Amino acid sequence: MYWEKDLEVLDRKHLEKLQVERLMTTLQQAVNSPYYGRIPEISKAIKSPIHSIDQIRELPFTTKEDLRNDFPWGFLSVDKREVVRLHSSSGTTGNPTVVYHNHHDLASWANLMARSLFAAGVRDTDVFQNMAGYGLFTGGLGFQYGVEKLGCLSIPAGAGNSLRQIKLMRDYGTTVAHAIPSYLGRLFDVFKEEGLDPRKDTKLHTLVIGAEPHTEEHRQRIEEMFGVKAYNSFGLSEMNGPGVAFECTEQNGLHIWEDAYVVEIIDPITLQPVAEGEIGELVMTTLDRVAMPVIRYRTRDLTRFLPGKCKCGRTHRRLDRIAGRSDDMFIIKGCNVFPMQIEGVLMKLPEVGDDYRITLETIDDQDEMIVQVEVKKEWFKGDLAFLDKLQKYITRLIRDEVLVRPLIKLVEPGSIPKTEGKAIRVFDRRKK
């Protein structure tokens, strides 16, 4: 079953034809903005129309730095009076990145969210509890409007307050819930503290997880804890927010909605397309946004196209789960390390809890990687011999994975400070 069958199963030839038509409309709209209005390649593409979607490579990239440098109005392509909402990053290290929407944009976004949730098996008979933050963060309102478009009973619970989340689930019979992966481990711990089991004491059948990169091992752990399927969601505020790509019930990659986006995967060094199936940096162009079109945006997210067709019948290409971000990688002792590599090791171990923290420090003039690892309560009982053995085992596993010997510190569950919103995993305190 499909939300919009005509679009979701469109053959490649007609899908690419639709992309070309929408790309030309997008360029004609984008040139109204101060930023794109001074890009000669945009004007040239309008005068000499694009006939193949591959010609998008003739256009320049847009970066987060561009969005910040032309803050606040440089990318706006309509009169300010048409704008009805904005979303923004925190801007704690400089100008925030801001995205503007008019009524058309919000309706389009809500429809993409409804399509995504429908693909994951959510129906209008479900009770949907949204445990994401509302406000400038896109996860709250993005899902809210999509759920309402789909026709579910929605519970806009917001983030945190685990006892209240559990009460809402039980009082109203929540069947589907959305949260960031790092929060669900904490929520499960509160279930246990209250003497409850979400597998028996709720009506949950589906979780939707996203907003922060996570490994397949982390997803499997969430599914085991709650006894439900957990579907991966991908989005970024520059492309609306959630609803950019979503897993269907086959759980074999994220369908990226190509009627709304042109998707490229490039080598982040050469900036050339990678071979089909190779991991590279995701580059995206909006095709159905009016107030603020964005062209060839370098997301810094690392992924690949999955080969073959999905059994669900949808023809839109599938992305592999995000392997990390090109700007998340750090170099320690000459080795390139991604935090997701370390998470993949830790989440396979039954003794390990759901939180960890990587700190890079200079000790005795040597750069070191310190990994704090929360150990589950049932294993953290003062058995020093066991903890010493576990510490050495984790040290060996991570060293084998990233080729750097870490300093492992085992800590009690709940002792690693939690951050508001997405989990912050890496703290670089090395002497520069």
Q: What is the DSSP string of 344-367?
A: HHHTT-TTEEEEEEEEEEEETTEE
In the prediction, which pLDDT does 389 show? 92
Q: Are residues 414 and 320 in the same domain?
A: no
Q: Which of 96, 35, 133, 99 is nearest to 238 (CA)?
A: 99
Any idea what the CATH number is for the domain that residue 355 is in?
3.30.300.30
Do residues 338 and 401 touch, judged by C-beta distance below 8 A?
Answer: no
E-assigned strands of 119-260?
A: 127-130, 153-155, 176-179, 206-209, 229-236, 241-247, 254-256
Higher-confidence residue of 191 and 160: namely 191
Q: Are residues 219 and 142 in the same domain?
A: yes
Q: Are residues 126 and 211 in the same domain?
A: yes
Q: Quote the CA–CA distance of 162 and 344 in Å, as a whole number.
A: 26
Q: Quote the CA–CA distance of 146 and 232 in Å, as a whole number.
A: 16
In the prediction, which pLDDT does 419 show? 65
pLDDT at 258 over 60: yes
Report the share of the chain in percent with pLDDT over 90.
77
pLDDT, averaged across the chain: 93
Identify the band that residue 161 occupies on the pLDDT scale cut at 50, 70 and 90: very high
Average pLDDT over residues 297-321: 95
Q: Are residues 281 and 258 in the same domain?
A: yes
Phi, psi dihedral angles at 379 (to 5 degrees)? -100, -15
Average pLDDT over residues 231-254: 95
In the prediction, which pLDDT does 417 show? 84
**What's the number of domains the chain is made of?**
2
In the prediction, which pLDDT does 421 show? 63
Q: Are residues 297 and 419 in the same domain?
A: no
Q: Are residues 165 and 34 in the same domain?
A: yes
Question: Which residue among 307, 327, 347 closes a domain?
Answer: 327
Report the share of the chain in percent with pLDDT over 70.
98
Average pLDDT over residues 326-351: 85
Q: Are residues 417 and 358 in the same domain?
A: yes
The tens digit of pLDDT for each residue in 64-84 reads 999 999 999 999 999 999 999
In the prediction, which pLDDT does 1 show? 85
Q: Are residues 270 and 358 in the same domain?
A: no
Least confident of 42-46, 237-241, 311-315, 352-356: 352-356
Identify the band that residue 392 occupies on the pLDDT scale cut at 50, 70 and 90: very high
In the prediction, which pLDDT does 248 show? 98
Any idea what the CATH number is for the domain that residue 196 is in?
3.40.50.12780
Question: Which residue among 301, 327, 353 closes a domain?
Answer: 327
In the prediction, which pLDDT does 420 show? 57
Residues 6+ apart with CB under 8 A from 179: 131, 132, 159, 187, 207, 208, 209
pLDDT at 156 over 90: yes
Do residues 98 and 88 touch, judged by C-beta distance below 8 A?
Answer: yes
Enclosing domain of residue 358: 330-429
Average pLDDT over residues 228-235: 96
Q: Are residues 245 and 286 in the same domain?
A: yes
Phi, psi dihedral angles at 222 (to 5 degrees)? -60, -45
Question: Which residue among 327, 358, 380 closes a domain?
Answer: 327
Average pLDDT over residues 94-106: 94
Q: Quote the CA–CA distance of 294 and 17 in Å, as a whole number.
A: 20
Q: Are residues 318 and 379 in the same domain?
A: no
Do residues 234 and 214 touch, judged by C-beta distance below 8 A?
Answer: no
Q: Which of 339, 345, 343 is nearest to 390 (CA)?
A: 345
In the prediction, which pLDDT does 251 show? 96
pLDDT at 133 over 80: yes
Higher-confidence residue of 322 and 13: namely 13
Average pLDDT over residues 12-35: 98
Most confident of 97-106, 210-219, 417-426: 97-106
In the prediction, which pLDDT does 170 show? 98
In the prediction, which pLDDT does 91 show? 54
Phi, psi dihedral angles at 418 (to 5 degrees)? -95, 145
Q: Are residues 300 and 334 in the same domain?
A: no
Quickly list DSSP for 151-191.
T-EEE---S--HHHHHHHHHHHT--EEEE-HHHHHHHHHHH
Q: Are residues 340 and 307 in the same domain?
A: no
Higher-confidence residue of 137 and 74: namely 74
In the prediction, which pLDDT does 371 show? 95
In the prediction, which pLDDT does 212 show? 80
pLDDT at 37 over 60: yes
Least confident of 209-223, 263-277, 410-424: 410-424
pLDDT at 227 over 90: yes
Q: Quote the CA–CA distance of 26 and 24 in Å, as a whole number.
A: 5
